[in-house]
Structure 1
Amino acid sequence: MTSEFIESTPDVDTALDPIIKETKPPLDSRIGKDAPFVFGQRFLQNENDVFNHNAWDNVEWGEEQINQAKEMIAKQYEEPVRDYEKSLFNANPAKYWDIFYKQNKENFFKDRNWLKIEFPLLFEVTTKEYQEPTTILEIGCGAGNTFFPILSQNENENLKIFACDYSKVAVDLVKSNEIFELQHDKGVAYSSVWDLANEQGELPEDLEPNSVDFVIMIFVFSALHPNQWNQAVSNLSKVLKPGGQILFRDYGRYDLAQVRFKKGRLLQDNFYIRGDGTRVYFFTEEELETIFCKDGGPFNKIKIATDRRLLVNRKKQLKMYRNWLQGVFKA
């Protein structure tokens, strides 16, 4: 149930300016050497250069920018989703993800090769030198844009990787891939339909309790209704072994995708329905820490950080701000 696309609506107000940042060493010298949260390497040094490139990294927000985003979101409350439609969208969310993957198949998302930079541990455990038994669980695998880049470069004979999704159509796409079939026969790759927030506390097919070293959740948690968060965290605690880690990336509050929503899209505070019927929530760092670490458990925060990008439409001279959150939590 992964999604990274932007609602197709008119462009947002572009009068918000970034704070200039200092440059960092070349990217090639950093891959695999830093901890996660190395967001990017192109920093705006001079505001006059803003339209010289398509994107700038790690752009800070000022008070004016935040206030403008709040004003745009306030307008969404004037005409939210009608009550009977809320029940319709919340009753069977898997239906809309099935439709999404039937229409888009594996062609919508690009392979997430940036994982090597943001979460280098995933690639350390797939090297030939790393022979420790390791189990990876990707939740919300979609058509395999995270799963297959990891699987295709794996040289660890003791690796197992599970790809699960809420959508049966998505899982069928993964299973139909020749790479999956080959690696499944070797006992490396597994895939099944699994609801992260299932109330029965059931685990993914073929997965032993408390056996996972790394859980990957990329733009997944945002698809859950807020009343499902506690159950989802409980289920995560059942799959991770002591010391296991959750590698998390999702939408941040005031992201472009949030402020662009128009009338008839707001389900409740910071929670929306897209035009295709799929749902999305926009988090703050404080919310994530409360969800995963409240009352002393079940997880400890290793790190939570915000990734802010300034995207530029050079032809139209427009600025568009993206805001994602990234976290690592330890069982």
Structure 2
Amino acid sequence: MQSQDDLDWVSQHTPAPDGNQDNVIKEPSLEPESKEPSRVERGDRPYEFGKRFLTDEEDVWKFNAWDHVEWGPDQKEEAERQLAAQAQTPVNEFDKKLYLANPARYWDLFYRNNKEKFFKDRKWLRVEFPALYEACKKDAGAVSILEVGCGAGNTMFPVLQENENPELRISGVDFSPRAVEIVKTSPSFDPKFAHAAVWDLADPEGNLPEGIEPHSVDIIVMIFVFSALAPDQWPQAVSNLQKILKPGGRILFRDYGRYDLTQIRFKKGRLLDENFYIRGDGTRVYFFTEEELVEIFGTAFTPVKIATDRRLIVNRQRKIKMYRVWLQAEFSNSK
């Protein structure tokens, strides 16, 4: 259940040399209002997210991307002004009920419209989530991986391509029947190791995916998926995940962070609720903070790593700056 924004989380918002993105968005600060030390000040950096640091502003146009970009108070104020303007023109109540009533319809339309161009090989998976590739080693033993919101197989297929483990089992589930059909009919789908099924992550009855037994999965992968749920669905989704994961199993998580470029650029009539939006194609997206992830998943899982990935993406020809914010985390089923 991945969005258009995740066709590739860098290329989707990095214009080509002749791109048409005209707005220069200043990135806000994610530092808390209190005087508590930040993660960086505490020396807590669980994910590296690259090592290209911008130390001299004059160098900004030398590369297409910079890592760990810091933001000032004026940038935060600009972002908050943008969000305040969005709050003045939210989605009307009639359309809000329509969007919230049948989200599966919009995801099916999304995959129908993007069937041929959706799949992008997530080459960054090996760096960000090496556990997936440890499971592919010949002597790794029996390992079960579940990709929630598998879309067109953006995680499943790169892992299968590298697999040398005869005991690996990787399953992909998605809210959209059309997405599951795309996965199953792909030439890369190998039923010897792979399985795919339709499943609602927030199933209110607590039903598990077809073919998945309770507490049978070692690793659950959720990449740009949880943000598609409405906030009132979060507790049920966490409960469903807990039913699936083995004791000691892990959740690998990546999703949108607060003040990401995508959030700042929403115009009138897109705000469903605080930090929760409807896109032009009818799909939904929420923008998280680290603290929210602890609150959401900490009820059932132990947070192992949580970090904010802040990138500055630039169009060097057109001199356009684009600031991205993603959250990445790992949770353990140790409670």
Give the alignment's TM-score, normalised by structure 2.
0.88
State which of 272, 279, 291 in structure 2 corresponds to 1:267.
272
- Tell me how far 1:125 sits from its aligned partner: 1.1
Do structure 1's residue 327 and structure 2's residue 332 form an aligned pair?
A: no
- Tell me how far 1:52 sits from its aligned partner: 1.7
Q: Label 1:252 to 1:16 Cα distance change in 2 as closer, same or farther (>3 A).
A: closer
State which of 252, 256, 260 in structure 1 corresponds to 2:261.
256
SS state of the match for residue 178, structure 1? coil
Instruction: Look up the match of 2:2.
Output: 2
Aligned partners of 1:15 and 1:98: how far apart in 2? 34
SS state of the match for residue 171, structure 1? helix
Q: Which structure 2 residues correspond to residues 1-331 of structure 1 after superposition, within 5 A?
A: 1-3=1-3, 5=5, 11-14=22-25, 37-130=47-140, 132-180=141-189, 183-184=190-191, 186=192, 188-293=193-298, 297-331=299-333
Contact 2:47 / 2:307 at 8 angstroms: preserved in 1? yes
Give the alignment's TM-score, normalised by structure 1.
0.89
Aligned partners of 1:231 and 1:87: how far apart in 2? 20
Q: Label 1:226 to 1:14 Cα distance change in 2 as closer, same or farther (>3 A).
A: closer
Residue type of the alignment partner of 1:81: V
SS state of the match for residue 246, structure 1? strand
Contact 2:26 / 2:78 at 8 angstroms: preserved in 1? no
- Tell me how far 1:40 sits from its aligned partner: 1.6
Residue type of the alignment partner of 1:223: A
Contact 2:46 / 2:306 at 8 angstroms: preserved in 1? no
Q: Label 1:212 to 1:16 Cα distance change in 2 as closer, same or farther (>3 A).
A: closer
Q: Deviations over 1:119-168 (max 9, x none)?
A: 111101101132x2110000000001111000111111111100000000
Identity %: 58
Aligned partners of 2:208 and 2:166: how far apart in 1? 24
Aligned partners of 1:263 and 1:217: how far apart in 2? 29
- Tell me how far 1:326 sits from its aligned partner: 0.2
Contact 1:54 / 1:314 at 8 angstroms: preserved in 2? yes
Residue type of the alignment partner of 1:215: I
Aligned partners of 2:213 and 2:312: how far apart in 1? 42
Contact 1:147 / 1:163 at 8 angstroms: preserved in 2? yes
SS state of the match for residue 216, structure 1? strand
Q: Label 1:109 to 1:179 Cα distance change in 2 as closer, same or farther (>3 A).
A: closer
- Tell me how far 1:38 sits from its aligned partner: 2.8
Residue type of the alignment partner of 1:207: I
Aligned partners of 1:17 and 1:235: how far apart in 2? 34
Contact 1:251 / 1:282 at 8 angstroms: preserved in 2? yes
Q: What is the aligned length?
A: 307
Residue type of the alignment partner of 1:323: V
Residue type of the alignment partner of 1:300: T
Q: Label 1:136 to 1:106 Cα distance change in 2 as closer, same or farther (>3 A).
A: farther
Aligned partners of 1:268 and 1:10: how far apart in 2? 27
Aligned partners of 2:110 and 2:304: how far apart in 1? 34
- Tell me how far 1:178 sits from its aligned partner: 2.4
Residue type of the alignment partner of 2:103: P
SS state of the match for residue 277, structure 1? coil
- Tell me how far 1:240 sits from its aligned partner: 0.1
Contact 2:261 / 2:324 at 8 angstroms: preserved in 1? yes
Deviates more, 1:38-47 or 1:205-214: 38-47
Contact 1:36 / 1:118 at 8 angstroms: preserved in 2? no
Contact 1:4 / 1:219 at 8 angstroms: preserved in 2? no
Contact 2:28 / 2:77 at 8 angstroms: preserved in 1? no
